[in-house]
Amino acid sequence: MKATGEVNNPYGDDKVIDSCSLFGMMNTKGERFSSSNPVRAIANMHERVNGLGGGFAVYGIYPEHEDLYALHIMYLDKGARKDTEKYLDRSFIVLLGEEIPTREAEVWNPPLFWRYFVEPKGSQMQDRQESADDYIVDKVMKANGKPKTFVLSSGKDMGVFKGIGFPEDIAEHFCLEEYEGYMWICHGRFPTNTPGWWGGAQPFNILDWSVAHNGELSSYGANRRYVETHGYSCAMQTDTEVLAYAFDLLVRKHGIPIQFAAKVLAAPFWDEIDSMSQSERSVLTALRQVYGSLLMNGPFSIIVAHQGEMIGLTDRIKLRPMTAAIKKDFVYLSSEEAAIRLVSPRPDRVWNPAGGEIVVGRLESPEILQVALAHHTLRDAR
């Protein structure tokens, strides 16, 4: 069997140097909107990508099944689907399984995509004495270990659509104009140190956590070893995958507030910590000591989504770009301001977050949480 990257990579190589494109758009009142503006915005940054990856994570798209886990699964052949569906029937109550609608588009060698709306089997959870979310994570990790099977998303009332092609072509392939959601995060990929293939496209997801990433993690080996000691398994051949698991581990499992999770991943330098107040110094020192292996070294900017929040974060010296904006009930995050202004020509406010600064848009609140305001420059866009 050929390596996965060779099967799906039309260029036959696995290292191309350039940048990626990110775009996120959220309605803070939870009002659902179509793919039109997100697709236009990410397509406006076409020159940042090379057609070896594009994708979308959409929240609020399955209101009729909002209490069920929605598993989006990619199969590299029909035999993999048959085997995995037997596994799903043993592990879950499957309320609905169906092929994800697709159409012909400028994408390369598309595999099969199915979705399943499921509930955990209560008896198995009780035997293992674990929560429903932990049960889902365990089953997803095991499914990803099967040959030619990859779970692309596993949250409630959300889904990931991604593959080999430019983002606008991926949107065409998955008929995204037929969907509506209150939050869309979008990614255009230009692979650097890892293969361009259907499973390696972004966003990456676990439960309702999705991450789109521009950059690379030189700390990936240490980061991967750390999350794998907590039950996660990295199977997608791309460093970004570890970011999704890190957020799930820190925020969901360990109960760390999102602003402190950001200080784990993009930790301040020690001389900055030494200049802080005693209380801040104590907290940040403890985080560095406990979670030192989750410090993300290397250039990165990321957009992270989970139910009710859209989060932007860059590395601590901001080696990759990010712009944020608000317009009435909408929050925007983007690699380029031009993409925001294409869909919202006159935002109320637009700014460039500082390195290591977190920006969070929250559902049912028009306010933006800004950490490290002393380093934050905000200008009136009008």
Quickly tell me which residue has 């020192």 as its tokens.
285
**Backbone φ, ψ for residue 41 (5° rounding):** -65, -45
- From 63, 53, 21, select the one nearest 40 (Cα to Cα): 21
Catalytic residue, candidates 20, 175, 186, 234: 20
Task: Determine the Cα–Cα distance for residues 353 and 369; give it in Å rounded to an integer.
Answer: 12
Where does residue 251 fall: left (phi above 0), alpha (psi -120 to 50 degrees), or beta otherwise? Answer: alpha
Asked whether 188 and 53 are in contact (CB, 8 A), the reply is: yes
Helix (H/G/I), strand (E/B), else coil: 207: coil
Cβ-contact 243, 204 below 8 angstroms = yes
The verdict on whether 186 is a catalytic residue reads no
Cβ–Cβ contacts within 10 Å for residue 274, how many? Answer: 11
Q: Rounded to whole angstroms, how far apart are CA atoms 155 and 52? A: 25
Taking alpha carbons only, the member of 370, 335, 333 closest to residue 350 is: 333
Alpha carbon distance 145, 130 (integer Å): 21
Residues sharing a CB contact under 8 Å with residue 135, sequence separation 6 or more, in sequence order: 120, 124, 125, 128
| Catalytic site positions | 20
